[in-house]
Amino acid sequence: MNLLPESALDRLQEGCKIIGDRCSAMDISSWEVVATQSYGHQIDIEGGKISLAAGGGEGGFGIRVLEEGRFGFAYLVDVNSADTAIKSALSIARMSPAVNGFVLPSEQSAQPVSGLYDSSVVDMSSEDLLIQADDIISEVASLDDRAVVTGGGIGVSANASAIYSSEGVNAAGVTTSHGVGVQVSIEQSDQLTSSWQSTSSRSRISQANECVNRAVEWAKLTRNPIKVETPDDDSVVMMTSEGFSPLFSVVVPNAIRGEKLVREESFWSGHMGQNVIASDLSITDNARIPGGRSSGARDDEGVPTRENPLIDKGRLVASLWSTRDAAQQIAEGRIDAAKSTGSAIRSGHQSPPISGCSNLFLTSSQKGQSYEQMLELIEDGYIVNSVMGAHTANPTSGDFSVTTSSILRVEDGEIIGAVKQAGLSGNLAKAMKDGVLLGKEVRQQGSYSSGSMYLPNVLFKQGLRVNPV
């Protein structure tokens, strides 16, 4: 059975037009309708066995109306309730404060981005996922006969979306996704160790060997913990891509949002044009990466996307804006000029757009280091592969305090053993200012906030403290 009904996109566009026509009939001159519909199959794995096979989908419409700089938003599932939703949005707009200069984006041509749709993903059935799940369970057992897949699963989805507005924006498309998550546990001699690894792609994942191998490897590496004394000062810490991404994704995307910077709610506020991180490091947001998890021809307001350099060789040079956020900050006098950077995002049809990142890259002008080279450079420190509690990090100050049970002790450039558990604390803004080295391999990671993170292993020489339990 095909995952995506043939008429899915046509139905969304037709629904958008019906709602838009109702807005016009009700004498609303400025409006925007968005629609989403997702379809998917999923297989869950638990205790070394397939525990659940499920499928389904969800979706609906969102309507934003604008009247003299005031906007209101409402969402609906059935187009037959369009009038009720429109009246609700209009009522909210009339009670909202006006934002002088705020108008919906006009139509601009947008170039497509390749690699966002793979027909072979759409063609996958639940039976195909069952075969992949069996292969993963077998692969884990072949790598270590003590290892068991205690959690995770495989899923595929097709996501149709459309946007239609009074300003001439009329676009629609379908993206696909294939994801694998694996939690591997080893329980032996009254000792349990686990590791979670995941990967996802817009295209069909034929093999998940790399993901599975890392999960088994870290479940093995963290066995037989050693006793470690608490250091008196900052520790040298190498964070793997998987360990670093939760902290990075909570703190950095918020710090580079335009409205956060001008509202003094970012640790980089007041530093535009100044060096804010190590002089070899750059941060770029690029929604036009072929096959990118958060790529697209247009943002969630219909504005054409682009590559946005944000920090160039340590210097803060730009920030991310949606149309309304830019207009509001100008109207409130916090900034003289700002405009959309093609960076509007939504959590779905049930929310209006805000500023956010798409595919965020951390890069260095220095040559990337291999894992072995970074290990030698640590000399005396730690390797952290995952953290718990990253969502509690403070995106305004950069401060964080998390725990980890996936941590290794390094002495004289060699791993001497695992640490049972440790606290990891510090300030990410401070840690990134100096003495930062990046690994060679960049791996795509998910995000707590918005977009996707493309990150290597990162070695920090200052600003982090490890507190072994």
Model pLDDT for residues 347-382, shown as the tens digit of each residue: 899 999 999 999 999 999 999 999 999 999 998 999
In this predicted structure, the answer to whether residue 321 has a pLDDT above a threshold of 60 is yes
The residue type at 20: G
Single out the residue of 302, 64, 30, 353 nearest to residue 163, CA to CA: 302
Query: What domains lie within the chain, and their CATH numbers?
Result: 8-221 (3.30.2290.10), 236-468 (no CATH)
- Are 464 and 431 spatial neighbours (Cβ–Cβ below 8 Å)? yes
Single out the residue of 412, 425, 420 nearest to residue 467, CA to CA: 425
In this predicted structure, the answer to whether residue 160 has a pLDDT above a threshold of 80 is yes
In this predicted structure, the answer to whether residue 52 has a pLDDT above a threshold of 80 is no
* Stretch 257-269: mean pLDDT: 96
Three-class SS of residue 455?
A: strand
In this predicted structure, the answer to whether residue 459 has a pLDDT above a threshold of 60 is yes
Q: What is the pLDDT of residue 2?
A: 72
Q: What is the pLDDT of residue 447?
A: 80
In this predicted structure, the answer to whether residue 56 has a pLDDT above a threshold of 80 is no
pLDDT mean across residues, the chain:
94
* Stretch 309-332: mean pLDDT: 97
Helices (H), 234-288: 241-255, 258-262
Provide, rounded to the nearest whole percent, the portion of the chain with pLDDT above 70.
100
> From CA 424, how far away is CA 167, in angstroms rounded?
50
Q: What is the pLDDT of residue 197?
A: 94
* Stretch 73-96: mean pLDDT: 96
* Stretch 303-331: mean pLDDT: 97
Q: What is the pLDDT of residue 45?
A: 93
Q: What are phi and psi of 444, to 5 degrees?
A: -75, 135
In this predicted structure, the answer to whether residue 273 has a pLDDT above a threshold of 90 is yes
CA dihedral 378, 380, 385, 387 (to 10 degrees): -120
Q: What is the pLDDT of residue 450?
A: 82
In this predicted structure, the answer to whether residue 1 has a pLDDT above a threshold of 80 is no
201 confidence band (pLDDT: 50, 70, 90): very high
In this predicted structure, the answer to whether residue 332 has a pLDDT above a threshold of 70 is yes
Provide, rounded to the nearest whole percent, the portion of the chain with pLDDT above 90.
89
Single out the residue of 285, 394, 397 nearest to residue 345, CA to CA: 285
